[in-house]
Structure 1
């Protein structure tokens, strides 16, 4: 099997290792910016510096893991070549007429696509989805808060993408996972609104607090995201007519009325392996479509359009 990866940042390297766990004999190409003199080298990955260097007829699938602002270009070129696409979230950095047309073009071409939201593969969330399937839900509360300077301890957090509005960063985009899994659990809301701001002690230009309210026919979901909480917390609480489920995603546990009813040794990092296994099974025909470009575009609209 041959794979092309567009971009070779930290997330791309996670995908590379996940591929290698699924496929023993794989040839991986990385499309890089710059030149062969300045580009870094990753073990057993072949650097290329233009699409012209790639023999697309031999490529089995493409991973789009370039900066979000570059996704449009990569998706557009690869769609013309009808190659399956594994696209890192978020899908785009903005919604425009051009991105809307591209989504339509990809869908009409029947190009196989998956937009990577690996929390869908977390044991606690998969189990929770089954547990609440037939419950009468009254209220859902989602919270994800962590401390941005701790994300990359060896870098100046004010200079990274996440902290800079000008680079398309912001907690609402970085943590779109939370919006994604609520969409996965409950579908598209009938109404939605949001409040976002940047005024915390981090003093960054990007949005560092976001609160989304999604209304469903019988309940409302509140999703709170922030960059400034030092004691990280990532939870979803589902209040039903019979009792309350609380999933702690950092610990991969589920509580019901305060008692542990499920726990898993799986780490969030393990979900990258499960995600890649799904995608490879999908493009080889043994799995159905899941979080396609069309679905991910709907979620992105809920994220950045009020």
Structure 2
């Protein structure tokens, strides 16, 4: 198998190493506009552009797009034009809906499988939550709450966060797109959303262009109401969700790697722990599923292009509500 990786930032390098972990026989080429550190991997060819990578009639079985968000659509369209049939693109699919229709049409007419990198769908705890919700262990769902927060300056040690993608509007940064995972996994668990209302604002002391905090009210397709909060300011990582049913509650905690639930009819509290699982195990699992995927048969946890776009639309709907409210003040 021959893979082309576009982008050699932290996530691109993680995917490169994980490809080799999955199968050392995989051949990898890389497209990188800047300097990249590939010591110890002399067999990997580095190209400056996608066009250069395909210039010598190279054939690739799949590509991984790990460039800044603002380049995702352009990169995917280029790959399709060069005949690629299988693409993994990091989340979010884009910073806006511009050219989304072009990508959708191309992927369908050229029969290209595009998957978006929402790796939290491969979190063992969230899969346990999905199982419990499916079995209606807590009865009918009434409401949900979710939160994620982590101090942006601590995200990538050794880099200036003010110069990174998260801080730049033109690169598709901001807490809502950065942490779009939350919108996606909640939609995946709960069967999709029909409405989203949000308020967001910048955090002055971070001194960045993009929003640093966001609070959203979301209604699912089944009419269930919930609240989702995201921020760049909590010094200690916090990531959890709570699902409230008419017969109990389920709680997921990413940090403690734990799911707990209880029912009104039972005084017992039940626990599911997965503390022995490493964070990178999730990235290996989603990449392995992608490499094995076929158009007619793929892991249901993978996020097809249409679902990746749906999560983006939810974020943009919440952002648009925020903008409409500000315009009336």
Q: Tell me if the contact between 2:85 and 2:111 (Cα under 8 Å) persists in the aligned partners.
A: no
- Other-structure match for 1:293: 305
CA displacement at 1:266 relative to structure 2:
1.3
- Other-structure match for 2:325: none
Q: Does 1:195 align with 2:196?
A: no
Please give the residue correspondences for 1:29-40 in structure 2 after superposition, counting only pairs within 5 Å.
Answer: 29-33=29-33, 40=37
CA displacement at 1:158 relative to structure 2:
1.7
How many residue pairs were aligned? Answer: 302
CA distance in 2, matches of 1:21, 1:41: 15
Q: Tell me if the contact between 1:61 and 1:85 (Cα under 8 Å) persists in the aligned partners.
A: yes
State the superposition RMSD in angstroms.
2.0
Residues 1:184 and 1:119: Cα distance change in structure 2 (over 3 Å): same
Please give the residue correspondences for 1:4-43 in structure 2 after superposition, counting only pairs within 5 Å.
Answer: 4-33=4-33, 40-43=37-40
CA displacement at 1:303 relative to structure 2:
0.8
CA distance in 1, matches of 2:204, 2:167: 12
CA displacement at 1:286 relative to structure 2:
4.9
Q: Does 1:174 align with 2:178?
A: yes
Q: Does 1:49 align with 2:54?
A: no
Tell me, what secondary structure is at the counterpart of 1:154? coil
- Other-structure match for 2:88: 86
Tell me, what secondary structure is at the counterpart of 2:283? helix
CA distance in 2, matches of 1:213, 1:112: 32
- Other-structure match for 1:304: 316
Tell me, what secondary structure is at the counterpart of 1:58? coil
Q: Tell me if the contact between 1:2 and 1:58 (Cα under 8 Å) persists in the aligned partners.
A: yes
Residues 1:158 and 1:3: Cα distance change in structure 2 (over 3 Å): same
CA displacement at 1:107 relative to structure 2:
2.5
Tell me, what secondary structure is at the counterpart of 2:95? coil
Q: Tell me if the contact between 1:247 and 1:253 (Cα under 8 Å) persists in the aligned partners.
A: yes
Picking from 196, 212, 217, the partner of 1:213 is 217
Q: Does 1:243 align with 2:248?
A: yes
Residues 1:191 and 1:212: Cα distance change in structure 2 (over 3 Å): same
TM-score between the two structures when normalised by the length of structure 1: 0.92
Tell me, what secondary structure is at the counterpart of 2:205? coil
Residues 1:21 and 1:284: Cα distance change in structure 2 (over 3 Å): farther
Residues 1:53 and 1:145: Cα distance change in structure 2 (over 3 Å): closer
Q: Tell me if the contact between 2:94 and 2:172 (Cα under 8 Å) persists in the aligned partners.
A: no
Q: Tell me if the contact between 1:161 and 1:167 (Cα under 8 Å) persists in the aligned partners.
A: yes
CA distance in 2, matches of 1:193, 1:107: 31
TM-score between the two structures when normalised by the length of structure 2: 0.86
Picking from 225, 228, 237, the partner of 2:233 is 228
Q: Tell me if the contact between 1:253 and 1:260 (Cα under 8 Å) persists in the aligned partners.
A: no
Q: Tell me if the contact between 1:140 and 1:222 (Cα under 8 Å) persists in the aligned partners.
A: yes
- Other-structure match for 2:271: 261
CA displacement at 1:200 relative to structure 2:
4.7
Please give the residue correspondences for 1:73-112 in structure 2 after superposition, counting only pairs within 5 Å.
Answer: 73-80=74-81, 81-96=83-98, 98-112=99-113
CA distance in 2, matches of 1:218, 1:94: 26
Give ranges in structure 2 of 5+ residues lacking alignment: 263-267, 321-329
Deviates more, 1:175-184 or 1:53-62: 53-62
Picking from 267, 273, 288, the partner of 2:284 is 273
Residues 1:2 and 1:219: Cα distance change in structure 2 (over 3 Å): same
